[in-house]
Amino acid sequence: MPESLQSYASHLDALAEELPLTAARTPEEAMQLMQQASELGGTASAVRLAAIEALLADAPERLDAITAATASARAQIRTVSEISRAIHLTGQVIALAQCVATGQIMAIGPMLGQLNQDLAAA
């Protein structure tokens, strides 16, 4: 339906352009032709507005679907991000445990400091 309204508006614009404004013999006739052209243009604008309103009438359903999909995607991204943080922290704990197990005393302090910073940021 909006496409037919748009073509109707284009037809009205074409009619307004076809009015022989320069062929008017008197100022009154020229004024009348300009008024007719203006009315055709105004009607074309009103028809275009109706076409937009018809499109927007269908839009809420599509917008709701887009909003739901976006919310779902954000939730999944948040979950993946949380899993990634957990994996990172687990890796740091394992590396710290390996340092303790192998007796690398000098690496324990910096690794523990980094782990504490990451835990505070999480």
Q: How many Å is the Cα radius of gyration of the chain?
A: 35
Domain ranges of the chain: 2-121
State whether residue 25 is helix, strand or coil: coil
Rounded Cα distance, 33 and 92, in Å = 82
pLDDT tier for residue 2 given thresholds of 50, 70 and 90: low
Rounded Cα distance, 39 and 111, in Å = 78
**Tens digits of per-residue pLDDT, 83-122?**
988 888 888 898 889 889 998 889 889 988 988 898 888 7
103 DSSP 8-state letter: T
Q: Is 36 exposed, middle or buried (0-12, 13-18, 19+ CB in 10 A)?
A: middle
**Tens digits of per-residue pLDDT, 52-89?**
887 777 767 777 777 888 888 888 888 988 898 888 88
